[in-house]
Amino acid sequence: MFRDTLRKMKIALAQLNYHIGNFDSNVRKIKDVIARAKEQNADLVIFAELTVCGYPPRDFLEFEDFITKCNESVEDIARECTGIAAIIGAPATNSNEKGKPLYNAAYFLRSGKVESVHHKYLLPNYDVFDENRYFEPAGSVSCIELEGTTIAVTICEDLWTYGNENLYSSSPMDELIKERPDLIVNLSASPFDYRHMEERKATFSNCARQFNLPLIFVNHVGAQTELIFDGGSFVLDSSGKMTNQLKMFEEDFQILDLNNPGNESSVQQYSKLELIHDALVLGIRDYFTKSGLKKAILGLSGGIDSAVTLALTSSALGKENVTALLLPSKFSSDHSVADAEQLCRTLGCPYEKISIEEINETFEKTLKPYFKDLPPDITEENVQARIRAVLLMGFANKFGHILLNTSNKSEKSVGYGTMYGDMAGGLAILGDVYKTEVFELAEYINRNEEIIPQNSIDKPPSAELRPDQKDVDSLPEYDILDKILFEYIENRNGPKELVEMGFSKELVNRVLKLVNMSEYKRFQAPPILRVSSKAFGMGRRMPIVGKYLS
Amino acid sequence: MFRDTLRKMKIALAQLNYHIGNFDSNVRKIKDVIARAKEQNADLVIFAELTVCGYPPRDFLEFEDFITKCNESVEDIARECTGIAAIIGAPATNSNEKGKPLYNAAYFLRSGKVESVHHKYLLPNYDVFDENRYFEPAGSVSCIELEGTTIAVTICEDLWTYGNENLYSSSPMDELIKERPDLIVNLSASPFDYRHMEERKATFSNCARQFNLPLIFVNHVGAQTELIFDGGSFVLDSSGKMTNQLKMFEEDFQILDLNNPGNESSVQQYSKLELIHDALVLGIRDYFTKSGLKKAILGLSGGIDSAVTLALTSSALGKENVTALLLPSKFSSDHSVADAEQLCRTLGCPYEKISIEEINETFEKTLKPYFKDLPPDITEENVQARIRAVLLMGFANKFGHILLNTSNKSEKSVGYGTMYGDMAGGLAILGDVYKTEVFELAEYINRNEEIIPQNSIDKPPSAELRPDQKDVDSLPEYDILDKILFEYIENRNGPKELVEMGFSKELVNRVLKLVNMSEYKRFQAPPILRVSSKAFGMGRRMPIVGKYLS
């Protein structure tokens, strides 16, 4: 399973949480790990893609100063690499006259200097990826030689041709294999979605089997605004079986003993809800940590979305760091307020109850001369939602909180929310979680004890912005709605395919129209923690004033 | 200057305003123009890039149904091409096993059918462009033969290698020239910025001269949310001189008489401010027309930004379709209200004056038990700005207006604005216009008569959210600030270069930090009409929780 030359080598895997552009912090972490690997007599330590600058650095890559800092960081780290070798990711300058100015590169560091630079060959440019925007693809590829072992170095997408869509007409392994490598290494920045670990295993196993070579995959861990990197770096033997896996959602460091590899049965398995839960907790924590802020605030309605958001944030930041505001109006039911208070007491989070009634009346009075006797409509509902946002942002500004957005993916899809009202917030926690999944998440949170009040789970969803309002007055039942949305958004099925699946043409047209007509609302929505294969935000780019299915 | 075979040909240029995804409307327009060209005995009519679906269609391209509609539209249009030929832009399916599923293509239509399909070779993937996301680059290129004339068909970026950065290592003209063409044709979707027409002329002239061939450039006109297409399609002779130009910012149709070409001196020249003014008016008009809405509303403070926004929108939509709300607080100066009222009277726009004082007091009273005796700070200022947004959105919801955002580019750069307050709106009119340019635009609007009150131009800028507040209390003087911002944002100069230009290190660090720390605010800002070479929005993609120069 592992050749002899390889068995003799001590290889360390470094799975770290980087911070985009924070060179001081990234370099310090990397140096600490190199020192630790040296102490443990490792021969080689492998880091992830674009290690020194974090991923994705986006348009920072267009600044010379940023690239200079990347280069200086690489040199700085190289100086530590005496008595040990390292492979780290960083941008590399394209010194040819033609082409984009940078490569996405893996640096092989040894003897205190950069020994070779290996460019990424396949550049992903779909969904959340924009690598063609910055990088020139590799013109040539070559292996690394270390202690008699030949290592094929690849970067993330480079290996995603095995068992996937035929996006590319060649693979760097076509060339690298000619050097008869003993091992394939892949430096990645592979973002989480709840199915992605399975896809990674399948793809990389295909690759290992095809070349009959072991494969080491080193990933980022930690969240960069929307994108959550789940870690889970792993080692496959030459039959494609997983022998080792690093932690999910945590920094980790492991020195491989290839004489005594693990086996697939020892690798921890996660359910979809466990993955989503842990990803969201990491996403929240990192957004705050990396923003340099500690405290969150949210409006707690007694409904399921804000309840789950509060529970997740309490896990991420500590109960004392999340304040809940209960902001009832005359349309809020007693049980809503009671459910909200119960949750705060259960979690131990600070909370305040502030009626919006008097402010709402003052707005009504101020607007009366202009609205005259026009019947109440969505306007008055929106005013209530916006008053709540003004109060929440007032607290946030005064006390240094970040406002959490509690909208779920179903609402965001169909535009069922008020801009500058309940759609406000610095970060959308559940914006990539459909309503039916929010219920599942609530059950998951309650798996050992009742944290989310059962009543918040059981009662019919309502915005409580007019008497006896229910979501189903405006929307299809969520179990049907979410299925249509999933097929349209995640699977990109159109009206024809949806009708063929058995949904009525009228319902399909209605839902797709709602989705397409809500682009203008989503455009101004907060960043959304991405947990699915297609989240709103950087991975889904739609025209706003288009007229298609709308 | 034009060869004989070419002189005999009657070529029509069709510069149209397309609507993304609105196949019915786009196809009807195209057919009408073909009929008109036929009536006038044209041999060939040339349209722009991605004609049938509009540009940019973005992720609509990932839907099979959308591509089917594109294909059906092309076939439908081809049937009209009897007794005339046409070149139109549309996506084409990649029938190879490998590569992305689509090409960006030019279809040559003749004898009622698609005669040949020509794929785009160079795919822009910088700034606002994402073409690698959707398209496979052309594998091969070939010319069109028509009436003894050989035409090299290219699509937009295909010719942008002449005199520009060396982004690409080859050009389709390298191959096409081997077929000895008589003419180069370029179908474009080239978005406006106030310097781009000069760049187009220079680039395409370089190309015409290099190959000693005449060149026809056909562009889109009209706005698609942020992106404004300025038209200005043109003809260059083989010496690179412009002989004909179609209208700027308007649909246009012209049949060329190459026996009697025009000359460069007859081509209309525009000043920077004229261009920006006309582009913004078109941008506003198309946002409303294509959204299917007519009426706008805005908060009119008496300051320069909202005054210029109102004047532009009044030009775009008609004075009766823009309502101004004057929303004074106790901090609003008398002259502000007087200036605002004067502007409304001058323009003849409907307006209302509504004090926010009582609502503000109710908020203060409601928040008092929690804020206790904490000194007033930015919180109380933000509450005022947000109350205004609630009132404006209340009117917008009740009466069907779209709220205009009036923030300028300087404010948006440094985060000098209130989220869900003055940063709200459906469309940001001046979000790509620096404060110093807003003043110039006001002077331009006043070039014949005083429309913007002179007092709004002369007085020091103030948010009027606390007593005697001035922008310079918080920000550097705008003439200095805007220079630094321009160098950082448009020219991507970093701290080192800025200090070398003579700005103090302290000031540079302060401004760059403000810009980088405001990403989270801009993320939720409305779409901005793009008039510069680097606007906030789809063309500038930055991490939010990064830590670089911040």
Clarify whether residues A315 and A248 are in a common domain: no
Clarify whether residues A214 and A179 are in a common domain: yes
Determine contact: B222 vs chain A, CB below 8 A.
Answer: no
- Cβ <8 Å between A168 and B543: no
Percent of chain B past pLDDT 70, that is, above it, reads: 99
What CA–CA distance (Å, rounded) separates B550 from B512? Answer: 7
Residue to test with chain B: of A366, A388, A412, most B Cβ within 10 A: A366
| Residue B164, pLDDT score | 64
| Domain boundary pick from A242, A270, A298 | A270
Determine contact: B522 vs chain A, CB below 8 A.
Answer: no
- Which of A166, A395, A426 lies closest to B98 in CB terms? A166
- Cβ <8 Å between A99 and B167: yes
Q: Which of A156, A207, A344, A349 is catalytic?
A: A156
Statement: residue B92 has pLDDT above 80: yes
Under the banding of pLDDT at 50, 70 and 90, the label for residue A8 is confident
Judged by DSSP in three states, B27 sits in: helix
What CA–CA distance (Å, rounded) separates B391 from A367? Answer: 8
Determine contact: B513 vs chain A, CB below 8 A.
Answer: no
- Mean pLDDT, residues B429-446: 98
Clarify whether residues A11 and A38 are in a common domain: yes
| Residue A183, pLDDT score | 97
| Residue A165, pLDDT score | 64
- Cβ <8 Å between B426 and A548: no
Q: For residue B489, is it within any domain?
A: no
Clarify whether residues A456 and A492 are in a common domain: yes
Clarify whether residues A223 and A344 are in a common domain: no
**C-alpha neighbours within 13 Å on the C-beta side of residue B246:** 27
| Residue A499, pLDDT score | 98
Statement: residue A164 has pLDDT above 70: no
Judged by DSSP in three states, B140 sits in: coil
Strands A427-428 and B242-245: unpaired
Q: For residue A467, is it within any domain?
A: yes
Q: For residue B113, is it within any domain?
A: yes
Using a 10 angstrom Cβ sphere, with 0-12 exposed, 13-18 middle and 19 or more buried, the burial of residue B448 is exposed
Which residues between 322 and 361 in chain B have a beta carbon less than 8 angstroms from any beta carbon of chain A? 352, 354, 356, 358-359
Clarify whether residues B292 and B227 are in a common domain: no
Q: For residue B365, is it within any domain?
A: yes
- Cβ <8 Å between B547 and A56: no
Using a 10 angstrom Cβ sphere, with 0-12 exposed, 13-18 middle and 19 or more buried, the burial of residue B167 is middle
Q: List chain A residues with CB under 8 Å of B66.
A: 494, 548
Q: Which of B70, B81, B156, B349 is catalytic?
A: B156
Statement: residue A463 has pLDDT above 70: yes
- Mean pLDDT, residues A14-40: 98
Question: Which of A475, A506, A20 lies closest to A220, judged by CA?
Answer: A20
Active site residue A156: yes
Contacts of B190 (CB under 8 A, 6+ apart): B156, B196, B200, B219, B220, B229
Tell me the whole-structure pTM to 2 decimals. 0.97
Query: In this structure, are residues A523 and A184 in contact, taking their beta carbons and an 8 Å threshold?
Result: no
pLDDT tens digits, A114-135: 999 999 999 999 999 999 999 9
Active site residue B120: yes
Clarify whether residues B308 and B192 are in a common domain: no
Please tell me the total count of domains within chain B: 2
- Measured between CA atoms, how close is B526 to chain A, in angstroms? 6
Query: In this structure, are residues A519 and A413 in contact, taking their beta carbons and an 8 Å threshold?
Result: no
Beta bridge partners of B113: B110
Determine contact: B431 vs chain A, CB below 8 A.
Answer: no
What CATH number does residue A107 fall under?
Answer: 3.60.110.10
Active site residue A120: yes
pLDDT tens digits, A65-119: 999 999 999 999 999 999 999 999 999 999 998 899 999 999 999 999 999 999 9
Determine contact: A65 vs chain B, CB below 8 A.
Answer: yes
Statement: residue B185 has pLDDT above 80: yes
Q: List chain B residues with CB under 8 Å of A26.
A: none
Clarify whether residues A119 and A237 are in a common domain: yes
Determine contact: B162 vs chain A, CB below 8 A.
Answer: no
| Domain boundary pick from B260, B291, B319 | B260
Query: b or e along B305-315 (b: 16 or more beta carbons within 10 Å of the residue's beta carbon)?
Result: bbbbbbbbbbb
Q: List chain B residues with CB under 8 Å of A55.
A: none
Q: For residue A193, is it within any domain?
A: yes
Looking at every residue in chain A, the average pLDDT score rounds to 96
Contacts of A132 (CB under 8 A, 6+ apart): A100, A123, A125, B125, B132, B133
What CATH number does residue B291 fall under?
Answer: 3.40.50.620
Using a 10 angstrom Cβ sphere, with 0-12 exposed, 13-18 middle and 19 or more buried, the burial of residue B115 is middle
- Mean pLDDT, residues B63-75: 98
Residue to test with chain B: of A226, A398, A513, most B Cβ within 10 A: A398
Clarify whether residues A263 and A281 are in a common domain: no
Clarify whether residues A222 and A360 are in a common domain: no
Q: For residue A532, is it within any domain?
A: no
What residue type is A288 in one-letter code?
A: F
- Which of A65, A382, A548 lies closest to B495 in CB terms? A65
Determine contact: B98 vs chain A, CB below 8 A.
Answer: yes
Which residues form the domain of A483? 276-523
pLDDT tens digits, A214-255: 999 999 999 999 999 999 999 999 999 999 999 999 999 999
Q: Which of B69, B120, B201, B290 is catalytic?
A: B120
Clarify whether residues B72 and B100 are in a common domain: yes
| Domain boundary pick from A225, A242, A270 | A270
Q: For residue A545, is it within any domain?
A: no
Residue to test with chain B: of A392, A533, A544, A549, most B Cβ within 10 A: A544
Statement: residue A260 has pLDDT above 90: no
| Residue A81, pLDDT score | 98
- Cβ <8 Å between A524 and B526: yes
Clarify whether residues B292 and B175 are in a common domain: no
Does A248 or B8 have the greater pLDDT score? Answer: A248
Q: For residue B476, is it within any domain?
A: no
Looking at every residue in chain B, the average pLDDT score rounds to 96
Determine contact: B372 vs chain A, CB below 8 A.
Answer: no
Query: In this structure, are residues A64 and A29 in contact, taking their beta carbons and an 8 Å threshold?
Result: no
